[in-house]
Amino acid sequence: MDYLGLDETIKRALEEDIAHGDITTENLIAPEQKARGVFLAKAPGIVAGIEVSKRVFTLLDPETEFDILKKDGEEIEPGDIIAVVRGRARTLLTGERTALNFLQRMSGIASQTRRLVDMIKYSKAQLVDTRKTTPGLRVLEKYAVRVGGARNHRFGLYDGVMIKDNHIQAVGSITQAIADLRQKVPHTVKIEVEVDNFEQLHEALQAGADIILLDNMDVYELAQAVEAVGGQVLLEASGGINAGNIAEVARTGVDFISMGALTHSVHSLDISLDFVAGD
């Protein structure tokens, strides 16, 4: 992956874990002792973050060798070797947890995302993420979502307009909010409005919203909204969506389905780093 801030993100994670030194490893392992380790899949899933794991070790010691056998986006099964790392034993032991933390979490996100994408692949709906990410890890977690086959929603408050309920409350109406924004944001920026009832839906439509987010509507309401809008704007379903109902939501005809659970409630994929004999 190509991310200018990657090294700083990894360095912060290493500093958090190592601080003044690895007192176990430094008092047990000779500085020049060599080791070889394998990243082993212990559960089925999708790899994401293997380049990040590699960078953990090369930041600790540029002489570390790291051979990737399963690239980001590839499927893995229990027993598959994802990568092999060789170098100073101290480096491997000190970087192990940080490397695994990145790889396990990112692979967990990619794996869950792929399962959900597969559930709606025969519909027109596209799965997208949200800003409900781990502080400091948004770029990596949203990258993992893309690896899993979904799309990214806005990255932050700076790259997309989203009028939410508190904005509406503060300004007074959806109509006023859209009118004000049309005068102030570049014409290239789309305006999305979050609505939770049909009165707001019709107001947003009349006021000229480009995208309307249907918040916490059930499938019957979603289908009615799709029919009422008739393709005039893009519709996004959000809130209360999970593996049990995502296919039904997709069948309503919405254009996008956004899920915070892609990143905020994911289970890390079970992957280990085991020392093995040999070169």
Residues involved in catalysis: 97, 132, 164, 194, 215
Three-state DSSP at 116 gives helix
Cβ atoms of residues 68 and 38 within 8 Å = no
A 10 A CB-CB count for 35 gives 17
Instruction: Please list, in sequence order, all residues whose beta carbon lies within 8 angstroms of the beta carbon of residue 238, skipping any fewer than 6 positions away.
Output: 130, 194, 213, 214, 215, 216, 257, 258, 259
Cβ atoms of residues 113 and 83 within 8 Å = no
For residue 246, count CB atoms less than 10 angstroms from its CB and return exposed for 0-12, middle for 13-18, buried for 19 or more. Answer: buried
Cα separation, 279 vs 85, whole angstroms: 10
Map tokens 């290493």 to a residue: 14
